[in-house]
């Protein structure tokens, strides 16, 4: 399974980015049998978009083969795009990418409801 996490920097110890569409990086983490087998940082193409940053980010995650997103907030258009490609979205905890992946693997993150919890206005 490939999990995507918005990140401030390009490493697992980085702080999770509170912004989905314009985060600097996404960490793509492959998990097999409850263990991390690979992690890779990819630049977020949404950071350079004049508009539609969340949509560009969602398209990139789809292209990368991510099946799950762990994020603090996701805008409404990006949430619709992510749901349309079948991506599961989980609400992040504050802390690092590593801490969020660990919490996810232990089943300690909540599945997000985009209509109610992701789009903070």
Give pLDDT tens digits for 5-26: 999 999 999 999 999 999 999 9
The answer to whether residues 100 and 107 touch, using CB atoms and an 8 Å cutoff, is no
pLDDT in tens, 23-76: 999 999 999 999 999 999 999 998 888 888 999 999 999 999 999 999 999 988
Q: Where are the domains of the chain?
A: 2-118
Which residue's structure tokens are 């749901």?
Answer: 83
pLDDT at 50: 86
Tell me: pLDDT of 120 over 80: no
Q: Which tokens hold the place of 22?
A: 């314009």
Picking from 54, 68, 78, the residue whose alpha carbon sits closest to that of residue 110 is: 68
Picking from 29, 27, 1, the residue whose alpha carbon sits closest to that of residue 14 is: 27
Global pTM value:
0.90
CATH class of 2-118: alpha beta
> Vertex 30, ends 14 and 5: CA angle to 5°?
35
């Amino acid at each position: 399974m490939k999990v995507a996490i918005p990140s401030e920097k390009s490493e697992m110890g980085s702080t999770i980015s509170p912004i989905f569409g314009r985060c600097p990086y996404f960490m793509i983490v492959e998990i097999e049998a409850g263990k991390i087998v690979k992690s890779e940082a990819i630049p977020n193409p949404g950071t350079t978009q004049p508009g539609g940053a969340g949509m560009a980010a969602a398209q990139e995650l789809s292209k990368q083969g991510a099946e799950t997103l762990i994020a603090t907030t996701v805008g409404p258009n990006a949430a619709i795009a992510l749901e349309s490609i079948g991506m599961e979205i989980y609400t992040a905890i504050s802390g690092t990418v590593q801490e969020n992946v660990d919490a996810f693997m232990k089943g300690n993150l909540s599945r997000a409801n985009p209509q109610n919890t992701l789009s903070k206005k």
